[in-house]
Amino acid sequence: MRRPTLYVLLTACVAIAALSSFRGDEIVSEPSLAAEASLAPEEVEASSDEQAEVANDEPRHFRAPHNVNLFITEDDAVRAPGEDWFEQQAELFPGRYSYDESLADGEGGWVDKDGKYELRYDEEEEEAFYWRVLTKEELTIGRQDYVQFCASCHGFEGDGYGRSAQHLRPGPRNFQRAMFKFSKVTQALPSDEALKTLIRNGLDGTPMLAWDLSDQQLDGIIQYIKTLSEPETGWRDLFTEIGDVVEVGENPWVGKESEAVTAGEKVYHKNDCYACHPGYLAPPDLAALREAPEGTTFRDNLSYPAIKDSDYTVLDHQLKILPPDFTWHQLRAGTTPLDLFKTIAAGIKGAAMPQWKGAFPDEDIWAVAYYVHHLVTEYKDQPAKRSAFMNALRRDQ
């Protein structure tokens, strides 16, 4: 066979193979593809309101639009940290923030040289508020990173129901509601720092991974997340307080860790922690510790946790949360005594776990932190040792 003939034959074979592999695609024309087509670039230029309507009409799971600044047409303003924060920053970075007494109708306020923060005076409320002004460019970059790293679970609109969020428990946070379980802050809204720490560390035992992103990327994502709050709520509310990271203070148990565990066991069982978490004492021992009168009974299944209501919802269903059994469940936000102190002190927002800071002396919170740490290191992931411990508690039941 002459060579040119061979080439022609070969090319023909490749062409036939290529054509036959494409044939399958022509048949497929699912409604989801049609929905995508309606997000054509021409519509991107429309006003923001119109776009919002388009977005609401879409099925819940459309694919990431190629032009991700689709929804961002205007500058957005979100609640900024308060007066204290500016004072601290002025000390840390001399020259970046300065105080101007003439501002806010003579009340005085901080001025930001970079133009990131703004002090606005509300005449109706007769009060001054700090705002962070987010530019379209900042938000666009933030949204791009959000779409790449966060949207598969938290959803393109931040509703906490992305493609991978289906069936998932615990569910991803709904950013429109601006409520976070493990922010470790004392107020409703976490500070930027608290959110950064959370995203960097992730939440163990959940698909919220420890994200290894740059400071700049994290800042962009966090600012974008803030704009997802419903208008007049969360970060877009004039009156929400932005929480400080919980104050740690000095650890009173350094060098006396085993005493801390013993003290923590007492604090834990004297203060009804076992109402939700398991009780780690046999009922007679618990009665003795509490000096309970003869015949006192405790809740059923004392050595198991009791499920509690929460403020979190998925598809309008109010979710319930099982408080962890420290000898069994993976704790979300760290198991060192320091992490546990922060979590217990700040409480878990939207769940049955209240903020304990202020309700108890720090010394007691530290003791409980050491006790929980002890339970985790002694029994978690050690099935034989754990069942010996738990079976001893249940023997008399």
Partner 1 sequence: MHRLQTLLLPRLKSCAALLALIGLTGVARAQEAAETVNRWGLGEPASDYGYRFTDLFWLITILVGVSFVLVLILIAIPVIRDRARPGHKASFDHGSSLHDKQVTTVISVITFLVLDAWVLVIAMQDLREAYWAYPDGDDEGVYEVQVLAQQWSWNFRAAGADGEFGTADDILSNSELVVPVGRPVSFQMTSKDVIHALFLPEMRMKKDVNPGDLNKAWFQANRSGDFTILCAELCGFAHYQMHGKLTVLEQDTFNEWEQEASKLALAAFDSEDTESQWAWDWEQ
- The helix (run of H) or strand (run of E) holding residue 319 is strand 317-321
273/280 Cα distance (integer angstroms): 10
CB 205 within 8 A of CB 332: yes
- Is 32 a binding residue for partner 1 by CB under 8 A? The answer is no
- When binding is defined by CB under 8 A, the residue of 62, 149, 360, 389 that contacts partner 1 is 149
CA angle 185, 187, 189 (to 5 degrees): 85
- When binding is defined by CB under 8 A, the residue of 126, 167, 231, 255 that contacts partner 1 is 167
Closest CA to 305 of 342, 280, 332, 330: 280
- Is 384 a binding residue for partner 1 by CB under 8 A? The answer is yes
Q: How far is the CB of 195 from partner 1 (least distance, A)?
A: 18
- When binding is defined by CB under 8 A, the residue of 139, 153, 346, 368 that contacts partner 1 is 153
- Is 63 a binding residue for partner 1 by CB under 8 A? The answer is no
- Closer to partner 1 at the Cβ: 310 or 343? 310
Structure tokens at 241: 């307080």
- Is 152 a binding residue for partner 1 by CB under 8 A? The answer is yes
208/202 Cα distance (integer angstroms): 5
Place of tokens 């997802």: 228
- Closer to partner 1 at the Cβ: 48 or 318? 318
Q: What's the DSSP call for residue 163?
A: G
Name the one range near partner 1 by CB under 8 A: 106-114, 252-260, 280-288, 301-309.
Answer: 301-309
- Closer to partner 1 at the Cβ: 78 or 331? 331
- Closer to partner 1 at the Cβ: 270 or 320? 320
- When binding is defined by CB under 8 A, the residue of 306, 311, 360, 378 that contacts partner 1 is 306
Q: Give SS3 for 348.
A: coil
Size of the site for partner 1 (CB under 8 A): 36
Name the one range near partner 1 by CB under 8 A: 8-16, 66-74, 122-130, 306-314.
Answer: 306-314
Q: What's the DSSP call for residue 360?
A: B
Closest CA to 146 of 43, 92, 68: 68
- Closer to partner 1 at the Cβ: 186 or 313? 313
- When binding is defined by CB under 8 A, the residue of 6, 8, 13, 307 that contacts partner 1 is 307
- Closer to partner 1 at the Cβ: 305 or 337? 305
- The helix (run of H) or strand (run of E) holding residue 193 is helix 192-201
* CA–CA distances in Å: residue 104 to residues 15, 98, 123, 133, 255: 73, 14, 10, 17, 51
- When binding is defined by CB under 8 A, the residue of 320, 336, 354, 361 that contacts partner 1 is 320
Place of tokens 């989801």: 32
- When binding is defined by CB under 8 A, the residue of 148, 216, 336, 377 that contacts partner 1 is 148
Q: Give SS3 for 66.
A: coil
Q: Which residues inside 193-222 make contact with partner 1, applying CB under 8 A? A: 205-207, 209-211
List, in sequence order, every residue forming a beta bridge with 134; answer none if it has no partner.
Answer: 76
- Is 62 a binding residue for partner 1 by CB under 8 A? The answer is no
Q: Which residues inside 344-383 make contact with partner 1, applying CB under 8 A? A: 381, 383
- The helix (run of H) or strand (run of E) holding residue 122 is strand 117-122
- Is 245 a binding residue for partner 1 by CB under 8 A? The answer is no
- Is 304 a binding residue for partner 1 by CB under 8 A? The answer is yes
269/291 Cα distance (integer angstroms): 12
Q: What is the dihedral of CA 263, 264, 268, 269, to 10 degrees?
A: -40
Q: How far is the CB of 332 from partner 1 (least distance, A)?
A: 11
Name the one range near partner 1 by CB under 8 A: 21-29, 80-88, 235-243, 312-320.
Answer: 312-320
CB 274 within 8 A of CB 289: no
In the complex, the residues that contact partner 1 under the rule CB under 8 A are 148-149, 152-153, 163-164, 166-169, 205-207, 209-211, 301, 304-307, 314-315, 317, 319-320, 322, 325, 328-330, 381, 383-384, 387, 390
